[in-house]
Amino acid sequence: MLIHHKLADLSQYFTEDELSKYVDSYIQEGYFNQDGSLYLFPVAKSTEITMLNKTDWEPFAEAAGTTVDELATTEGIVQVAQRYYEWTDAQTPDVPADGKAFYGRDSMSNYFLISMKQMGKELFEVKDGKVTLNTDKELVRRIWDNYYVPFMKGYFASLGKFRSDDVKTGDVIAYTGSTSSAVYFPDSVETEDSSYPIFPENLFLYSWKFCKWLQYL
């Protein structure tokens, strides 16, 4: 229950035109009464966007004749990712199947939820307090084929904790994630081309026989 005079009605500070510039569902969450009073304003909301490493994108796009317009659809991203993998693989003809991944996604669950909605179905439908899981076979297969298959072929990757980490290390050059993750999108890519020796853990002198014996326990 709202306590009278304790919360300000924010609607008096905005015109309808100004409010229309915000995502409507975010604004609607701020209305608690039927009188049109706005008590919460979406100052900390986020949505998903696709971010791209333009520096690495440009030489590939020029060589492959690819444009950013192709990234507007899920299928387009898969096709571009395949071309990027093949293009990077061709840079080292003496090393087969070493192409690089193009794309990653932070949230698989968001991908499934949003994709189903885009195709006219709610993955979870709530009616009379009961939840129904919609698993339309054709739609789920379409979603799966544009997510799992590119991963298996090396076109997509998920290596670090977040995809912005993968951009930073050059493992992908594009990813879909929250707008709040944009602040972590790196200004540069860190590569590690040097090599270093790796040895097993050190042992006490004359202890190797005992350690070898332990391996058979």
Fold classification of 48-212 is D-Maltodextrin-Binding Protein; domain 2 (3.40.190)
Residues carrying CATH 3.40.190.10, the chain: 48-212
User: In this structure, are residues 36 and 11 in contact, taking their beta carbons and an 8 Å threshold?
Assistant: yes
Closest among 189, 190, 214 to 201, alpha carbons compared: 214
The pTM (predicted TM-score) of the whole model is 0.74
pLDDT in tens, 156-208: 999 999 999 999 999 999 999 998 888 888 777 766 655 556 555 555 555 55
Q: Quick one: pLDDT at residue 94?
A: 96
pLDDT in tens, 13-52: 999 999 999 889 889 988 887 778 899 888 888 889 999 9
Tokens read off for 160: 């670090």
**HSE-up of 179 (CA within 13 Å, CB side)?**
5
Q: Quick one: pLDDT at residue 43?
A: 84
Share of the chain above pLDDT 70, in %: 85
**Which CB contacts under 8 angstroms, 24+ apart, belong to 71-79?**
71/174, 74/115, 74/146, 75/146, 77/50, 77/102, 77/103, 77/174, 78/146, 78/149, 78/150, 78/155
∠ CA 78-163-52, rounded to 5°? 60
**Mean pLDDT taken over the chain:** 86
